[in-house]
Structure 1
Amino acid sequence: MAQPNPRCNTCRVRNCSVLSNCSNNILEALSDNKEYLHFQRRERLLIEGQHGGGIYFIRSGIAKIEVNGKSGRPLILRLAGAGSVFGHRIRGSNNEQPLSVEAVEDLYVCHISLAYYDQLVEKSPALHSGMMQSLLNEIRQVELHAVRLTHLSVKERVAGTLLHIAALYQYQPGSNGIRVHLERQDLADLSGTTREQVSRMLSGLQQGGYIKYRGKHFKFFNLPGLQQIAALY
């Protein structure tokens, strides 16, 4: 659903996105040629295997990035929040989306077409550099995730996933906590384990005073304690 279009040069997440070093002229041009869209929870922005789709910049909300597994069930690779960009990896020879992106909660994004993105990149080395850095960061995340799956215990991986979620949802110690619209299977995918093991680990971490939760409402995170468990995070 289209929304009133915010300007890129005054966007509150500009400095944490690929647009951080772009000139005002590029930001003005982008503002004049983009859509500001709202996706409700469980709506998909991109679908694996589809052609086209454009470039999306997250202004607020959380999305999950998925690939189809052998069983046909989507597997979550990671979560992403404000400042993240999607759609730029379509530039392969088959011109298909390699990933699916779904809104975990209400998601507000800015969207431009692939054709207009190509025009902007030709005019802006800073945008091109930002996109390349984004791709390098994604590769680094994949490398670190592989290391964690190989070398860390289930408890360490679940603790790391909880830290990742607390950071994305901007959990503040002393607050009323955060409500996370993720299923136990989602947490299992992110942690590289099973839903049953995630449930056991969450119970154990709560008994140990590392978290307090009921259902999807995480009332408390002992951030130093979780960081000590998840040594590599």
Structure 2
Amino acid sequence: MNHHPHCFLHQHCLPEWKAAIAASARLVSFKKGAVIFREGDPVEGFYFLHSGKVKVHKQWGEEGKDLIIKFAGEGNMLGHRGLVSGEVYPVSATAVDAVEACFITPEFFRSTMLVNHQLAYSMILLYADELQQAEQSMRDMVHMNVKSRIAKSLLKLEEIFGKDEDGYINGHLSRQDVASFAGTTYETLFKTINEWTADGLVAASGKQLAILNKKKLRNIVQ
């Protein structure tokens, strides 16, 4: 397997370990909408994203609602939480668009970390960063009202996916995905978007959303 410039695994490994990666890793691809792994499935391995975006989501509450924890992209890693959670994936991962990734088994990952201290150190930083973000999300859920969470989510989605030439957020996410990312219901999101469209804060066209007034949205977040 060839070295990829945005592969987390390649970036943090010793040059002399590259041959081992080439022999043990395999390149995998997923179509838009494909499930990469499901919450509760046995851990088969880990994915290092080369291209495309993936939604990482989890069931929550009694009704089994879907909560989108984050969107992962080029240079990110998937499945690594499975390394420490009793050998099952604690989250699900679904391709938002066409995805290419490098896949390795848990055994190879463990031996790679023992040999490559830089990778092990980078993994610690990655876990620490994710823990911090998860704690922030929990605080947002508790302390922010739903409109603030929707505003924050829209600003974040624009940052992650960028905009098309008409100013609409890329990614072609469903309204349900946007609601799941904001930790709210489809109905509440629908009502809020209609209200903001009338006030000229956002524009909606089919599935697509555009932010028209960033300053006002940021004020709502505050």
Report the TM-score range of the alignment, normalised by the length of the smaller protein. 0.7 to 0.9
The SS at the match of 1:204 is: helix
Is the 8 Å Cα contact of residues 213 and 220 (structure 1) preserved in structure 2? no
Q: Aligned to 2:46, which of 36, 39, 55?
A: 55
Q: Alpha carbons of 1:140 and 1:18: their partners in 2 closer, same or farther (altered >3 Å)? A: farther
Alignment match, 1:39: 30
Which residue pairs with 2:92 in the alignment?
100
Query: Which digits, 9 at most, give the CA deviation of each residue in 1:43-87, with x for residues without a partner?
Result: 111111111221101122221112233334543222222222112
State the distance in 2 between where 1:41 and 1:85 align.
Answer: 18
Mapped partners of 1:208, 1:18: distance in 2? 46
Partner residue in 2 for 1:171 = 163
**Alignment of 1:193 onto 2:184:** yes
- The residue correspondences of 1:141-152 to structure 2 (distance < 5 A) are 141-152=133-144
Aligned to 1:7: 3
TM-score by length of 1: 0.83
Q: Percent identity?
A: 25
Identify the match of residue 16 of structure 2 among 17, 25, 47.
Answer: 25
How far residue 18 of structure 1 moved from its aligned partner, in angstroms, is 6.5
Identify which of 182, 198, 218 aligns with 2:209.
218
**How far apart in 1 are the matches of 2:70 and 2:196?**
22
Q: Contact (CA 8 Å) 2:40, 2:89: kept in 1 or not?
A: yes
Q: Hey, what does 2:119 align to over in structure 1?
A: 127
Shift in CA distance, 85/226, structure 1 to aligned 2, threshold 3 Å: same
Residue of structure 2 equivalent to 1:160: 152
Task: Kindly state the Cα deviation for residue 117 of structure 1 after the two structures are TM-superposed.
Answer: 0.8
Offset of residue 110 of structure 1: 1.4
Would you say the 8 A contact 2:175–2:207 is kept in 1? no
* RMSD over aligned Cα atoms: 2.4
Q: Is the 1:18–1:130 contact (alpha carbons within 8 Å) kept by the matching residues of 2? A: no
Structure 2 portions without partners, runs of 5+ = none
Q: 1:160 to 1:39 in 2, by over 3 A?
A: same
Change (3 A) 1:222 1:92: same
Specify the SS of the correspondent of 1:178. Answer: coil
Q: Distance in 1 between matches of 2:168 and 2:219?
A: 21
CA distance 1:175–1:83, change in 2 (3 Å)? farther
| Equivalent-residue separation in structure 1 for 2:16 and 2:212 (angstroms) | 43
Query: Does the 8 Å CA contact 2:162/2:170 hold for their aligned counterparts?
Result: no
1:188 deviates by: 1.7
Q: Distance in 2 between matches of 1:126 and 1:162?
A: 35
Tell me the distance in 1 between the aligned counterparts of 2:66 and 2:159. Answer: 24
Distance change (3 Å), C-alpha of 1:205 and 1:19: farther
> Does the residue aligned with 1:102 lie in a helix, a strand or coil?
strand
Gaps in structure 1 of 5+ consecutive residues? none
Separation (CA, whole Å) in 1 of partners of 2:118 and 2:84: 22
Q: Is the 8 A contact 1:53 1:87 kept in 2?
A: no
